[in-house]
Structure 1
Amino acid sequence: MSTSLNLADIRKNYARQELHESLVSPDPLQQFNTWLQEAIQANLPEPTAMVLATADPEGVPSARVVLLKGVTDQGFMFFTNYLSHKGQDMARNPAVALTFFWPELERQIRVEGLVTKASSLESDQYFGSRPLGSQIGAWASPQSKPVTNREQLEAANQEYERKFAGLANIPRPEHWGGYLVQPDLIEFWQGRPNRLHDRIVYSKNDNSADWQIGRLAP
């Protein structure tokens, strides 16, 4: 395969900010919230978009972009179909990774940890806050399963629109809900000149709940 663009020549010299151990919060989730708020205030497109990487029991990985819907002192929350590809992976292998990338700020955040299902109450509350079309779509779409064509999806969507017409509150499907990623490693990456990037990593020892802060070579 040939291309008129030499991909090896594409590069950017990062020089906006720096990141030092003395500048970060001792709590990585507080540090994450600081960076997230800065991304939101900068009006970045999709600041809550994150790559979720999962693996099946044999270690075969897959990745996709999902949206962060909550941050607590326990970790990162998102919602999806339990029967989807990622849902099946997480049911059999709870080790996951998240990646946030904000190129306008020359920043990246990596998260590694274990995922658990959110409570039914949390899932119900979030589902109830979604737009009507998104609620119906959660019922209509057999996420990650083969479909014959677009018309099949639209017919299913219309069927559930008729079924739930007039209801004040559409119930949450049993196959849909939230997940919480509880981190044991969070890395903050700030682009720096000449590829000498700043990488500050928070990690936990097996026998300690305290976060250890260190620096990684770029």
Structure 2
Amino acid sequence: MIRELYAFLFEPLLVPVDHRVEKAMALAGLEGRDLGIFYREFQKMDKYHSERVTLPQFYRCIEEKRSRLGDAIFEILQIDYSEGITFGEFLHAIILMCMFESKEVIQLLFFVFDNDKNGFIDGEEIESMIGVFSKISDEKNAIKFNIPPDGKLEFDEMERLIKSHKQVKYATFSMQNKMMSKFNGHSWWRRKKLRLQRLAEQQLSEEFYEQRANNLYEWWRQRKIRKKMGY
């Protein structure tokens, strides 16, 4: 037991790195030591050391029931989960979901209900959405659906509906919240998002001053040319 604990704490962890792991690291600004946290959870599920876990195992890991919203994460990442998912696919899905802002989570849900991907929810799609949301709410908090006269529900209306109903809002963000809690906690993810935001702002600032310097140099060059020509 002591030897196993020593190995767990001190032996180097060989994390398989593929293009999805690299994308996930770039997306969240992960460092090498961060990967170990996710890979150990993956190893707990991968009991047969096949380097793959099934989707039911994935949902049990994050303590969430399987849902169309959860499956949609793999779909937009073009991951075929029929024979299980690799560590890179597992990591990519978690990082993407946890790095989403609230608007992006709702956009993902809109993507789920918009079966024909024409930019709005209509017909049977609306019936499906009403059925799902009605199961979430109770009689005291029944959802009021304001369907436009043309029968086409656009994203802004769906966003308003979700944000105005506590139970639907909780269910919409349940998977993301459980992922964040499972892996490092909400404060860790907030710090990651804030750091990336600051880096983006810094890059924009550097690009602005670089462009300003280029403009100033060009102005000075043109002025020198005009002076030589006697203008």
Structure with the bigger RCO (C-alpha within 8 Å, sep 6+) is 1
TM exceeding 0.5 = no
Q: Which has the higher helix share?
A: 2
Larger gyration radius, structure 1 or structure 2: 2
Shorter-chain TM-score tier:
under 0.3
More strand by share: 1
TM-score when normalising by structure 1? 0.26
TM-score (norm: length of structure 2): 0.25
